[in-house]
Structure 1
Amino acid sequence: MTTKGVLFDVDGTLVDTTYLHAVAWWEALRQHDEDVPMAAIHRAIGMGSDKILDHLLGEDRDTGDDEAMAAAHDVLYGAWWERLRPLPGAADLLRACADRGLAVVLASSAKGSELTKLRRVIDADDVITAATSSADADESKPAPDILQAALDQSGVDPRQCVFVGDAVWDVKAAAKLGIPCIGLTCGGTSAGELMAAGAVETYDDPAALLADLDRSAIKNIFS
């Protein structure tokens, strides 16, 4: 039997963290005399620290401060952990997918300790089949490594799944594995940008997708 399922990005898709990451990177960069507009940083959120600094600062540069900047981001972002909140309908959406016989898989590139906190915020561990962290992938999105790891850990068939994410990097990563991607605009990326990147459809947030679940692209894998 093939396992059908839904893969979910976490940051900006299920938990309201995108702008906190943007502010943390902005301050971490400024601590090292790198003045990057916050709008540019926001558009890069969804990439891991192995990609985001090259994307923002260019590959042809001195990378000696990269580790310190990434560490500064982690400290600054960590100050918000106890105040993180799920996005509307996050847990209910996961439970609804599980109720329809679908495996629910978190395809996150967060570090292990951060993922533990994010799972507590979502509060739906009883229906989560598998969850990845940064340790499970050599490269972050838009490389498809974390999605492949999620498939491998869960046993979900890539031909029988959908990915839900909030960034163009999510859409691009899914496309590399031939997986349809539903885009959510709650991470701050517009429906037009997500559709242009290849999203099959878009919704405002998890609650909006839940309300339309039986008419969404997810219906194609459980009907």
Structure 2
Amino acid sequence: MAYQGVILDVDGTLILSNNAHAEAWVEAFAEFGYEVKFTQVRPLIGMGGDQIIPKFVPGLSDQQGKGKQIADKRKELIINKFSKELTPTNGARELILKMQSVGLRLIIASSASSQELSVLLKAGHIDDLLSQDEATTSNDAESSKPAPDIVQAALDRLNIPASQVVMLGDTPYDIESANKAGVDVIALRCGGFDDDQLENAIAIYNDPADLLTQFDSSPLAIQAITTA
């Protein structure tokens, strides 16, 4: 069955921001007296703060107390410091335009907050292509990836059966989240995870440009042929 919709992850998929998120977590934890190394937190990027914070400080929550202060500091660092260094992944804008041109409906599913997402889309030079009004963020989910909440919220907004939707992501948490919601995933290596970690994706490409180059033989090609 042809795919009718694509759920888009942002960090690591459309914007080279995963390392920045890890650095922001390191700084945020340090400000409140916790030593967390880059190498410890980097493999967890793709999860939200509700998942990451208690892994390093059991008992803390990103919703209250010191845990919330850490989460807020990380967001502040991304918005005010690291966003200046962010760049789009190779071919991100062109791939979005291609998917739109063949009639695929696109929606964002990100663990970022709405405020943070706005900054990220501008950094990726794609804020004019993707409507934040149609995005699902941490505000729409009780639990972040790898829980299915954010993907399910995106499905609900698309109002398309899960079997006709595919997700574009870059982390094993995207894949786990989407699969729990019954959605296939096309994975990209540009987020920094290796193929073994992305093995449950239906296809793996280097980055958006690689997927665009191979679009006609990709899982999205049936949709492209159908609407051509």
Is the CA contact 2:167–2:178 (under 8 Å) kept in the aligned structure 1? yes
Structure 1 consecutive aligned stretches of length 4 or more whose deviation exceeds 6 Å: none
1:35 is aligned to 2:35: yes
Of Structure 1 and Structure 2, the greater strand share is in 1
Matched positions, count: 218
Distance 2:36 2:101 in 1: 44
Partner of 2:152: 148
Structure 2: which 5+ runs fail to align? Answer: none
Residue 143 of structure 1 aligns to a residue whose secondary structure is coil
Distance 2:87 2:219 in 1: 26
Instruction: Return the match for 1:100 from 76, 99, 102.
Output: 102
Is the CA contact 1:9–1:165 (under 8 Å) kept in the aligned structure 2? yes
* CA shift digits 1:81-108 (9 cap, x unpaired): 2332111110111111111111011111
Instruction: Mark the CA change 1:6 to 1:95 in structure 2 (over 3 Å): closer, same or farther.
Output: same
Instruction: Mark the CA change 1:211 to 1:56 in structure 2 (over 3 Å): closer, same or farther.
Output: farther
Give the residue type in structure 1 aligned to 2:165.
C
1:116-155 matches, within 5 Å, as: 116-125=118-127, 127-128=129-130, 130-155=134-159
1:47-126 matches, within 5 Å, as: 47-57=47-57, 59=58, 61=59, 64-78=65-79, 79-125=81-127
Distance 1:207 1:171 in 2: 20
Measured after TM superposition, the shift of residue 27 of structure 1 is 1.4
Measured after TM superposition, the shift of residue 222 of structure 1 is 4.4
Is the CA contact 1:3–1:155 (under 8 Å) kept in the aligned structure 2? no
Give the residue type in structure 1 aligned to 2:160.
V
Instruction: Mark the CA change 1:62 to 1:74 in structure 2 (over 3 Å): closer, same or farther.
Output: closer
Measured after TM superposition, the shift of residue 179 of structure 1 is 1.0
Give the residue type in structure 1 aligned to 2:41.
I
Measured after TM superposition, the shift of residue 221 of structure 1 is 4.3
| Structure 1 range deviating more: 126-135 or 47-56 | 126-135
Relative to the length of structure 1, the TM-score reads 0.89
Partner of 1:173: 177
Instruction: Mark the CA change 1:126 to 1:17 in structure 2 (over 3 Å): closer, same or farther.
Output: closer
Measured after TM superposition, the shift of residue 36 of structure 1 is 2.4
Measured after TM superposition, the shift of residue 170 of structure 1 is 0.3
Measured after TM superposition, the shift of residue 190 of structure 1 is 1.0
Partner of 2:161: 157
Distance 1:202 1:43 in 2: 18
Distance 2:160 2:118 in 1: 22
Distance 1:152 1:123 in 2: 27
Identity %: 37
Is the CA contact 1:3–1:157 (under 8 Å) kept in the aligned structure 2? no
